[in-house]
Amino acid sequence: MLSIRPLRRALLDGAMVIIPLGAIVLLVLAILRKVQDASEPVSGPLGHPVLGAVVSLALLCLVIGLLVRTAVGRTTRRVLERRVFEQIPGYRLAKAFTGDGPLAEHGGRALRPALAAIEEGECPALVMDELADGRLVVFVPGSPAPMSGAIYVFGPEKVTYLDVPLLPFLKVISSWGLGLREIIEAQAATLKHIQADHERPAPAAPSAAILT
């Protein structure tokens, strides 16, 4: 008898990917339409209203980005994030994907790839945040849908960081682990090379010549 549970799980996993992406696409299209209407007077030299809207939107983002780097802009941004943006589902995750998550706020790296020790093995994971006592908030993504998974709180001794960019790491997870061996072996070789350099004896200092 065919079980419905795997199909329902697949449907939910697909929805968790399609719905946020669709919402972002619709939002961007709506913004472009508004900017296109506002930029019609100046879009003539560019030859196409959509091109004018894209250029205007890029310039607007650049100006706003420069403003939020000022002291007043940073304060305004924090207030907007706390009262408005963080109420939007998925905003904090999108912010973490851009390298501006909780770990980055404390001088670390947001969404850091790692291996988490679970039972008798290790699982690909993402370190999301760090508690005041040093424990780590770890997200263990599912495969092949890394946007869904489980959340754990681990001691740092159970987490091994991986020196790999985020997107290639997520690609490995969505590929049922294909490519993970290369990541682990490359990191092991790098650590072995570093350890060998540390254990290499320092060259002996040349003996001073005795002048008679």
The reported pTM is 0.56
Q: CA 58, CA 64: separation in Å to the nearest integer?
A: 10
What does the pLDDT read at residue 140?
94
* DSSP calls for 177-205: TTTHHHHHHHHHHHHHHHHHHHHSPPPPP
Q: Which residues of the chain have pLDDT under 70?
A: 1-21, 36, 38-50, 52-53, 57, 86, 88-110, 198-212
Inter-CA distances, 66 with 60, 63, 71, Å: 10, 5, 11
CATH number of 102-199: 2.30.30
What does the pLDDT read at residue 210?
47
- Per-residue burial over 14-49, b = 16 or more CB atoms within 10 Å of its CB, e = otherwise: eeeeeeeeeeeeeeeeeebeebbeebeeebeeeeeb
What does the pLDDT read at residue 79?
81
Helices marked H in the chain: 5-38, 49-67, 71-83, 91-97, 102-105, 166-174, 180-199
Q: Where are the domains of the chain?
A: 5-89, 102-199
What does the pLDDT read at residue 153?
96
What does the pLDDT read at residue 98?
61
Identify the CA nearest to 112 among candidates 90, 97, 132: 97
What does the pLDDT read at residue 137?
93
Identify the CA nearest to 126 among candidates 188, 187, 173, 77: 173
